[in-house]
Chains A and B, each alone.
Chain A
């Protein structure tokens, strides 16, 4: 715990997203649309982690996320843990849960899919999470983790 505090300074109120794989940090930022957040955000990445090897952490001051927003990051950071902070204390812990549907986040890997040719919000049904398999609502093809691209 002390390491974390030293590496990325604490926040008074807000949300801490921990246990993000270091390689997924920028995808998490993009999925959560953090570039549009105006309050203070601090990141740390390539921090040592026993579980992940190298992990990243995001601290969002005065920002609280809705559960469906949180679940969006399960595609790239399934082990992420969220701490809700009030007055420097953790008041609530949350884990990410796999959503049933993934909307507007992932590009369909099928080049012949209509979603890659018209302005259409992509939609996938999550078939399995352990080995990520997303079935496109439109072309019905399956996009797996290896071919997954975040929009």
Chain B
């Protein structure tokens, strides 16, 4: 991984995932405030994303590294008409690693070909967001004490949600069983179902949420967005069907955990926040350790 960019979850192998998870665990249990000392990370957020950006900033700062960059395109030379190519070429001179978020799909792959230093993709449009997947894996491993043979229930917008697609790809390495719960309009695309079939992995599709809860080891919630529906009446009909409420958890496995890439709107009722199954806020904290591990590996510091 040393010197390599992380653009897509498929850039890293299963062994790479496991090394990153081990290192994240090490950083969580034994903080290492000096490991990134003297390192400069360029943080190029052409598109604003407060949570992801702060998570990276926290990850770098807590290990003694420095962050330079911008938080939205309007405060960069993009407004003057500079191409992505030029911006990346210039910033490559100033730092050891670039973390980049951009609205255009494929922008991070392109940047990784232009840059003389590694790129970490912090989201390229609807395409990839691999560090989210790594923190999801870390959260699953931490709460279930394993990654193998788990029952993973993905809920909500399975058609457009990039996090669920990447998580599916990554978890397919660990013999998972998948349950897809979504409105008809937002079903898991065929290409991912074929991907699982080719690997001999089981999946079931559901439009009803309730009965699946008791089987799940992990429930991964996503937001169903109004703008995804061509028919607003369909949205009104389905908008609450994929919300998780406390009484739905009564038959849940004791170790089951609810994950969510956040931000949530109303798909997880706030009364769930105090249940032992609620894990989404800790999941966000795990992002700091997972990102520290990824950066350490890419910079060749571990």
* Residues of A bordering B, CB below 8 Å: 108, 110, 112-115, 117-120, 136-142
Contact = CB atoms under 8 A, between A and B. Distances in A.
Given A112-B105, A114-B110, A114-B124, 16 more contacts: A110-B105, A112-B104, A112-B125, A112-B126, A113-B104, A114-B84, A114-B102, A118-B83, A118-B85, A118-B110, A137-B109, A138-B107, A139-B104, A139-B105, A139-B125, A142-B191
Contacts of B106: 108, 113-115, 136-140
Contacts of B139: none
A80 to B, nearest CB: 30
A140 B127 contact: yes
B110 A140 contact: no
B35 interface: no
Interface of B: 8, 83-85, 102-107, 109-110, 124-128, 191
8 contacts: A112-B105, A114-B102, A118-B84, A118-B110, A138-B109, A140-B8, A140-B127, A142-B191
A140 B124 CA distance: 11
The winner among B85, B102, B127 for most chain A CB atoms within 10 A is B127
Contacts of A119: 83, 85
A142 B194 CA distance: 15
B128 A140 contact: yes
A120 B106 CA distance: 11
Contacts of A115: 106, 110
Contacts of A137: 106, 109
A108 B106 CA distance: 11
Nearest to B10: A140
Contacts of B128: 140
Contacts of B110: 114-115, 118, 120, 138
Contacts of B107: 114, 138
Contacts of B103: 112
A68 B124 CA distance: 32
Given A112-B126, A114-B110, A118-B110, A138 B85 contact: no
Contacts of A108: 106
A138 B109 CA distance: 6
A113 B105 contact: yes
A139 B84 contact: no
B161 to A, nearest CB: 15
A72 B84 CA distance: 29
Contact of A141 (B83, B85, B105): B105
A139 B105 CA distance: 5
A115 B83 CA distance: 12
B244 to A, nearest CB: 30
A110 B106 CA distance: 10
Contacts of B125: 112, 139
B104 A114 contact: yes
A117 B104 CA distance: 8
Nearest to A137: B109
